[in-house]
Structure formats: structure tokens, C-alpha cells
Chains A and B, each alone.
Chain A
Amino acid sequence: MKVTNRRRSTLWLIVFAVAVLAAVTVAGILLNGQAMESDFARKNLMPCLEYPFGTDWMGRDMLARTLAGLSLSIRIGLLTAAVSACIALVMGIVSAAMGRWADSVVCFCIDLVMGIPHILLVMLISIACGKGFLGVVTGVALSHWTSLARVIRGEVMQLRQAPYILAAQKLGVRRWDIVRRHMLVHLMPQFLTGLILLFPHAILHEASVTFLGFGLSSEQPAIGVILSESMRYLTTGKWWLALFPGISLVIVVLLFALLGERIRLLLDPASAQE
């Protein structure tokens, strides 16, 4: 017999993760000024008590820079994941509920977007928007909706066969009313899990594209920028410039991923009783 109560532990995990992520976001915003502050009297310091993450060649505090970068990443992640998930919801419903023609158009779009590797597509969209904040946000938001759209499409297809939906159709309820009143509620669990599971991808791709030079500009303390700069100093032994910001990013993404995973298990009836 299992002793651990998974629902309770999941609840604690959710509280913990949300608290950490919120704290990082707020701290990053508050530390934004400090993150830009350079002081050549303290440049290239190894991690120590005063500067746990060390300082870079301009004497900027790496802890402040990392927190500011993570905060930016989280905010961009939230924004892009939300936009992406909404696109997915609309596309999925349109595809499944608006007839065959709409379905083939949406499926074609999905195949099209999936045919170009994510990173390349984000790059292209970012270029189209002139790079920078707008570029990377548009790029990530417009390229990550496909798998969730497929899930929602499948779900709606199934719902359409449900007796109460068929009955509503027979009664002459209009299509959009059926979607709004009867389907949206059932799609919520899938939608929410999909949304949360999008965060990690969104954050990682934002960082990657910024790292490659197609995203946030180099003046901003973004994680991608920090790590891209650290590359130039790796061979000279400044390992802390790459190590700590990277680990912090992994932890943030991991928290989102864990959160999504646990919520998925809870909401999925097949594993809810495991």
C-alpha cells in the first residue's frame, strides 16, 4: 500500500513552485537596475559570499543579472505560452467543429509549421519582425501552438460524437453556441495542461533564439544574452559566467515542467487514481 498521498504532495509542489517562480519574477524586476550597473573595481570576481554568482568583465553582479534575465524569461514565457495556447484553442475548435474545409486548411497549417524546425521558424519570424523583444515574442507565440491544437482538435472530434452534443445539434442549437456552452468546459483540463506544458518550450526557445542573436538585444540582461557573452570567456577560465545562469535557467524550466506534469496526471482520469 502506498503511504504517500500524491494529491496532497502535488498541492504542496504547486504552492512551492508558484512561490519560487513569483519570487524570481519580482526579484528580477527589482534588480533590473543593479543588473546593468558596471563597476570596474570588482570585475571578473570568482563566486564569493558577496557575489555568489561572481561578476563579469565589466564588474556586473552576475546574481542580479541572472535574476533579471530569469524574470524576463518567465514573463516572456507566460506571454508567449498564453498567446500560443489561445491560438491552439481557436485552431483546434475551428478545425474540428467548422466543417471539412476548415479542417483541411488548419491541418495544412499545422503540417506546415511542424515541417520547419522550431528554432528555424522562430528565427524567421523574429527576422520578419525586426528581431528584438517583439520578434522573439511573436516568433515563439506563432510557432508553438501546433501540438496543442492537434490535441484539442481530437478532443472536440470526440466530443462531437457525445449524445448530448448530437441532441443539441438535432434541436437546432447553433454551432458556436454548442462550442461555447457545451464544449469549452470539457476542453479546459486539456487546455490548462497544454498551456502549462508550453511554458518550458517557450522559455527554452526564447533563450536559444536570443543566444543565437535573433532575439532580445544585447543590452538587455536576458539569459540568452548572458550565456552568449559567457562563451567568449569560457576558454579563459571564467566558468561561473556560464555555469550559474545556466543552472538557474534549468531550475526555473524544471519547476514549470514539474508543475505541468503533475497537473496533467491529476487532471487525466486515466492516471488520477494511480
Chain B
Amino acid sequence: MKHRLRFAVGKLFRMALLLLGVSILTFALMTASPLDPLQTNVGQVALGSMSQEQVAKLEAYWGVGTPPVERYLGWLGDVLHGDFGTSLLYRQPVLEVVGQRLAGSLWLLLFAWIISGILGLVLGVTAGATRGRLPDRLIRGYCLLISSTPTFWLALLLLLIFSVWLGVLPIGLSVPIGADAASITLADRLQHAILPALTLSITGVANIALHTREKMVDVLNSDYALFARARGESELRIVLRHGLRNVALPAITLQFASISEIIGGSVVVEQVFTYPGLGQAAVTAGLGSDMPLLLGITVITAAIVFGGNLVADLLYGVVDPKIRRGAARE
């Protein structure tokens, strides 16, 4: 138990260090940018018509002129007090913006994460079990095709088919324009989330299925599968008795590693469907040089990704008898 605790604390410490690294990297990248936030957001013409003081005020607002290290340390100090600063574009605290946006994205992400995980596992196991035969070829073909398809184009295609041609689903926006927030029904929300969620699930499956297949093939080529065959177990029983068991561990890692990919996908998908989630906010912040917001989104996203890895590591310890028993004996 003590061993496990030390393991978890060590991982947490590393995660904190990584987050610090992410924030420094992001900050450095944004500071290095030659793009002038004033020009992008206020515009050349408007700037020209302003007085010197107004420009100076704006410059202070967008953080032009302050030395980067000082600005970073200031930001870091605030973050440690739970303040991620104020979004320049939304004029709201970053945490509030991220909170609202994340709430919108969360269902999308969760749905896609679970569906692609389950479907990927099922397809991967099936393909591995029928390696070289028709189902395997079909599944591999599907995965290859999907992983060669840009997510945003798949989103466009689905939009074209379901919204434009068939007209069964709405185009974009998680809520109807102009509707009062209170009058939005759950059905409305669901309707607008279907296509983005579908896109993310379809693309998420490929990677998980392919990796699961590899592992399944390894299991079926293993000595213990051979021995099971020698003992008269049928191929199906081997898949069910030994395959699933041994695929489960890498599946945990895969599933949690896919979080990053799904969040990345949501950035593009939300843009296509104009779905007001975290991904869309990231694009807006990036295009508008909204440094506090983009920094906040990146750090929080990274925290979710690292958190996922941590959970996977801890789960491993519970599921893998080697770690579980090994730790128990210490």
C-alpha cells in the first residue's frame, strides 16, 4: 500500500511538473508570436484614428510592452491562487469561460470517448480474432480509410448529407439562434450534438481498433494460446478466455491515451458545426491572440490529458496482478 501511495504521489508530482512545462511552453510560444494583438482585434484603421493615450491603454490591456518573464510570473502567481486571468475577447474570467465551454463540450467528448472506446475494442478484437480473413480485412480497410480522412472534412460530409441533402438535422449551433436559454429543451441540445458526436466517434474508433487488433494478434500467436489450442480449446474460446483478458490492460492505456486525440478532434469538429464548446473557444482565442484564454485552455486541456494518463496508471495497478500482487508482498 505504501508503495502504491508513493507511486501515486510521484506521478502527481511529475504531472505538476509537466503542467508547469506546458504553461511555460505555451506562454513562450505566444510571446514569440510576431502577430500584433492590437492589429488583429482593433484593426489598423481604428488604431490610426485613436489618440496616443487610447493606444497606450489598449496596449496595456493586451499586455504589449511588459517584459515576458515578469508577465509569466505574474500569471503563475495568480494561477496558484486559482485565478487564470481574464479573457480579453470575452471580457470574463478565463475559468468562467472555460467552465461554460467545457460544460458544452463535455457531453460531446464523453459520448465520443465511450462510443469509440467500446466500438474500437469490439472491432479490434473481431479483426484480431479473424486475422487475415474477410472481417479483418473489412475492419482494417475501414480503419485505414478513416485514419486517412481529415476530421473536418468528415464533419463537412456529414453536414452535407444529413443537414443539407436529407434535412433531418440542424446545421450547427448547439442552440437555436435567438432562443431564450431557458426555453432550450434537452431534445434541442441532443439534436445539435448528434453530428459532432458522431464525427468524433467515427474517427476515434480507428486508432483504438487497430491497436487492439495488433495486441489480439500477439495474444493469438503467443505460447499460451498455442497451448490452449493443444488442449482442445476452440479458437472462439481462446479469444474469449485468453484474448479479452490480455487485451484489457493495453485497452485501458489506449482508452485514456485517446483523450488527447478526441479533444484535438473536437477543436476541428466544433468549428465546423459552430458548436460552442472548448475547442471553438480555443480557435477563437488563437485567432484573436487572446493570450490568457488560450493559455488557460491549453493548461486545462493538458491537465485533463495528464489526469487521464494518471488514472490509467492507477487502474493498471488495480487490474494487473503483477503490480497488485507485487505491491501486496512488499
Contacts and interface: CB of A to CB of B under 8 A. Distances in A.
A120 B132 CA distance: 37
Contacts of B152: 207-208, 211-212, 227
Interface in B249-305: 260-261, 263-265, 267-268, 271-272, 282-283, 286-287, 289, 294, 297-298, 301-302, 305
A124 B18 contact: no
Interface string B71-88: 000000000000000000
Contacts of A250: 145, 148-150, 153
Contacts of A211: 150, 152, 268, 271
Given A120-B301, A250-B153, A242 B263 contact: no
B144 A261 contact: yes
A34 to B, nearest CB: 24
B230 to A, nearest CB: 22
B30 A115 contact: no
Nearest to A251: B148
Contacts of B144: 254, 257-258, 261
Interface residues of B, number: 52
B33 interface: yes
Interface residues of A, number: 45
Contacts of B272: 231
Contacts of A125: 29
Contacts of A243: 157, 160
Given A112-B18, A112-B22, A261-B144, A119 B153 contact: no
Contacts of A274: 132
Contact of B271 (A111, A124, A212, A237): A212
Nearest to A253: B148
A20 to B, nearest CB: 14
Nearest to A256: B148
Contacts of B264: 117-120
Contact of A234 (B156, B261, B268, B306): B156
A230 B33 CA distance: 29
A249 B298 contact: no
A119 B29 contact: no
B148 A119 contact: no
A131 interface: yes
A38 to B, nearest CB: 23
A123 B144 CA distance: 25
A246 B25 CA distance: 34
A250 B151 CA distance: 11
Nearest to B152: A211
Interface in A115-153: 115-120, 123-125, 127-131
Contacts of A227: 152-153, 156
Interface in B136-155: 144-145, 147-153
Contacts of A200: 147-148
B181 interface: no
B191 to A, nearest CB: 17
Contacts, number: 145
B21 interface: yes
A127 B261 CA distance: 21
B171 interface: yes
Determine which residue in A200, A254, A256 has the highest number of CB atoms from chain B within 10 A of its CB, and name it: A254
B164 interface: yes
A234 B150 contact: no
Given A111-B18, A213-B287, A246-B153, A117 B26 contact: no
Given A117-B267, A231-B272, A257 B147 contact: yes
B160 A239 contact: yes
Contacts of B149: 250, 253
Contact of B267 (A111, A115, A119): A119
Contacts of B160: 234, 239, 242-243
Interface in B298-330: 298, 301-302, 305-306
Contact of A212 (B18, B33, B267): B267
Given A130-B35, A231-B156, A254-B145, A116 B164 contact: no
A214 to B, nearest CB: 6
Contact of A124 (B132, B260, B298, B306): B298
B164 A115 contact: no
A165 interface: no
Contacts of B219: none
B43 interface: no
The 7 A-B residue pairs whose C-beta atoms are closest, nearest first, are: A117-B264, A128-B29, A253-B148, A246-B153, A254-B148, A119-B264, A130-B34
25 contacts: A108-B21, A111-B18, A112-B18, A112-B25, A114-B305, A115-B18, A115-B305, A116-B260, A117-B264, A117-B301, A118-B260, A119-B267, A120-B298, A120-B301, A123-B267, A127-B29, A128-B29, A130-B34, A200-B148, A208-B150, A208-B151, A234-B159, A242-B156, A246-B156, A257-B144
Interface of B: 14, 17-18, 21-22, 25-26, 28-30, 32-35, 132, 144-145, 147-153, 156-157, 159-160, 164-165, 171, 260-261, 263-265, 267-268, 271-272, 282-283, 286-287, 289, 294, 297-298, 301-302, 305-306
Given A119-B268, A239-B160, 8 more contacts: A118-B264, A119-B265, A120-B297, A130-B33, A204-B150, A212-B152, A242-B160, A250-B145
